[in-house]
Structure 1
């Protein structure tokens, strides 16, 4: 039978034999931050060394000690992973070899994977992997797109806004390359807009809400550019959204805006949404939406009535000018009163005097005036007044110059000729007042 002293000696001997292993274990092996014994010293030395070189931007010198830390002490810090990605992106940028650049991309993805293993944040880091892969290796767009989708599945309503912007960009590229379907493009938009809507509603500050709105506008712009945004694809998607929240104000605003932007105002969904919106919030925008409904139905009286309501409620001068212009266009298009069209166009100019379009409208109204003048000569003088307006349009607004020049060329052909003017004692270059409701003083031209 062993004595107590013998047992103590045996235990002490086992401990001594185990001591070298305990004194020299890496962090990757024992789960500690730095490891133990000599390995912990080695980890700390290399950590200090790489950080010093990194601060000096000596990345070629920093990368060797960084690799030691990465491989042997993976729990040492999150910053170690951030610095590693930064350095390999710089190596990627400076490399001339395609093969070498792809190896750097793979290394960056591996850094993200190890960071996930030891520091979690899998949803966010999967998104960062997807963004970097999309930007660094365009030929791997599908792989990047799948990573971004996976990250949204993981984070759902907590998904950062940048993910949706990148997801839609990669989706657009794949859609244009026929790698994803129109339905999938629509579903991407539906997913992004649903979560962004939620995030806007639950933003903790105005600043955050505004950031989400900017991202939402980008998502809508990408969707628009894709060509997948048609009434046929949008209406089923938005009908479902309408049925889920038919009296939710922000939901109705978004549906109305999207349908208007994609020219789906003839749909029943647009009418229902616009009516609900106006009942909940009788604003300039909701009145305008109903005006557009009745234009599509060719109910001109109601359309004009809602335009006038929108004008009363609107406070932005540029928007008021647009409403007046559209009213004037309605009257011209429906053979309404040209004099009233001119009145609305002049009202638009009061709100926005640098816009040439109202002058185009006035010129067209003059040229289209029926039953004008007592004789053939007087009837043709309306074209002098019309052409004056076209010249005025391009003088105040260069963006309408091409349109104005075409109008000038068209209507100058109908000026009176010298023989007609001779009988009325009218000479070229003289002042002449075009009569009737036009009442415009101009110069005689043949």
Structure 2
């Protein structure tokens, strides 16, 4: 009986202690959160208790805790203190991963950025941290800044002749990071396409959906900026004069390497070297190895360079049919639309619309349609007023382009303004007596536009 009572006492006592611990953890977490929100550096003191006594109590310890340590870094008065708390933040990221595995926070990547953002450590230390994160936690390597820093350090080492970095490594890393940027952009644009489709259907977005759409647009602008910066860094290393002999030298060794052929063809095309015979040789080898969507697209470019337009379109259509990724499919349709824009406006618009059908956020397709309409004023309309009214329709498509793709909003706005400036003036609208009336374009355009009210 005494033994049973003793065991019961121990169990009850354990529950009592556990309840006390839970209560203390809850209180300290609440106090830390409040301090963080008020930008009070005392948040760190509560975090210290939580790290010691409640490391796996709740995941919010790590979101608020990150902010608490960053406050200490921000308020540090000496370089030594700044580094002390920065290094502590890196340790804290490891604790987060230990106590909440698979948290998706990208902590390995963040460790490299802590050093970079605070001007600490060496380039090698930062690079090694980012390299490890990219290789072991690829899915959560999501920050555009991390991608840029990772690439920039490698390029600096190449230019300085450090660590035996070769040009092929630069190209490979650029391709790897470009692919990651595309993946992150696709994830965002696919989500945005859902909102755009709702709006096109006449549905009103909820407030939270509007905010999320704005956040997506902001992130897409950041990714576009990083992509542009990376392109500028590598531009001097990848001119046709340098690329063609470089890939010519490696072709025989790699003609059975599908990944090498894809990347070589992509870079030659991106840098405008696709008229060189080497591009044809690489593209044909790629298609022979595997007649994939990408290989078919490259052969379409080859045939277009050879002025075999019909054959080029066959390859492009094959590529579009094979692509499962909507962004890549839309890219091919847009390429076809651009080619047809020089000779067949109806077909050009058809393919631009196909691009928009699979990718509603593909703003460039709207701009192409605007260009087609803006160049058609002499094809439509019964008099000069109606002919120039076409500019209003072109401007509307520019507006759609900017709304669909924030990265081209500036260009779209500028182009729309130029079209509206070329449309009938207020005086001409008044003299025509057509204010508020709808003008139908009974030509290949087959659309209509309302004359602005005065």
| Structure 2 length-normalised TM | 0.50
Equivalent residue runs for 1:183-222 within 5 Å: 185-186=166-167, 189=170
Call closer, same or farther: CA 1:236–1:439 in 2, change over 3 Å: same
- Report the Cα distance in structure 1 between the residues aligned to 2:451 and 2:122, rounded to whole angstroms: 69
Compare relative contact order (CA 8 Å, sep 6+) and give the higher one, 1 or 2.
Answer: 2
Equivalent residue runs for 1:2-401 within 5 Å: 172-175=155-158, 179-180=160-161, 185-186=166-167, 189=170, 225-226=233-234, 227-332=236-341, 334=342, 336-369=343-376, 370-401=378-409
- Give the drift of 1:192: 8.6
- Report the Cα distance in structure 2 between the residues aligned to 1:191 and 1:311, rounded to whole angstroms: 26
Structure 2: runs of 5 or more not aligned: 1-51, 53-77, 81-111, 129-133, 137-146, 177-228
- Report the Cα distance in structure 2 between the residues aligned to 1:358 and 1:421, rounded to whole angstroms: 30
Say which SS state the counterpart of residue 423 (structure 2) adopts. Answer: coil
- Report the Cα distance in structure 2 between the residues aligned to 1:406 and 1:295, rounded to whole angstroms: 31
The answer for the alignment partner of 2:414 in structure 1 is 406
- Give the drift of 1:188: 5.2
**Superposed CA RMSD:** 4.6
- Report the Cα distance in structure 2 between the residues aligned to 1:421 and 1:429, rounded to whole angstroms: 9
- Give the drift of 1:344: 1.2
| Structure 1 length-normalised TM | 0.50
- 1:43-89 Cα shifts (integer Å, max 9, x gaps): xxxxxxxxxxxxxx9xxxxxxxxxxxxxxxxxxxxxxxxxxxxxxxx
Call closer, same or farther: CA 1:140–1:325 in 2, change over 3 Å: closer
Structure 1: runs of 5 or more not aligned: 1-56, 58-94, 98-130, 149-159, 197-220
Say which SS state the counterpart of residue 427 (structure 1) adopts. Answer: coil
Call closer, same or farther: CA 1:374–1:256 in 2, change over 3 Å: same
- Report the Cα distance in structure 1 between the residues aligned to 2:306 and 2:79, rounded to whole angstroms: 62
- Give the drift of 1:285: 0.7
- Report the Cα distance in structure 1 between the residues aligned to 2:286 and 2:246, rounded to whole angstroms: 19
- Report the Cα distance in structure 1 between the residues aligned to 2:383 and 2:171, rounded to whole angstroms: 63
Call closer, same or farther: CA 1:399–1:278 in 2, change over 3 Å: same
Kept after mapping to 2: 8 A contact 1:339/1:365: no
- Report the Cα distance in structure 1 between the residues aligned to 2:400 and 2:170, rounded to whole angstroms: 44
Call closer, same or farther: CA 1:249–1:354 in 2, change over 3 Å: closer
- Give the drift of 1:418: 6.6
Report the more deviating stretch, 279-288 or 413-422.
413-422
Call closer, same or farther: CA 1:180–1:325 in 2, change over 3 Å: same
Call closer, same or farther: CA 1:346–1:167 in 2, change over 3 Å: closer
- 1:373-421 Cα shifts (integer Å, max 9, x gaps): 3432332222222122122222333333212211222111332357766
Kept after mapping to 1: 8 A contact 2:333/2:351: yes
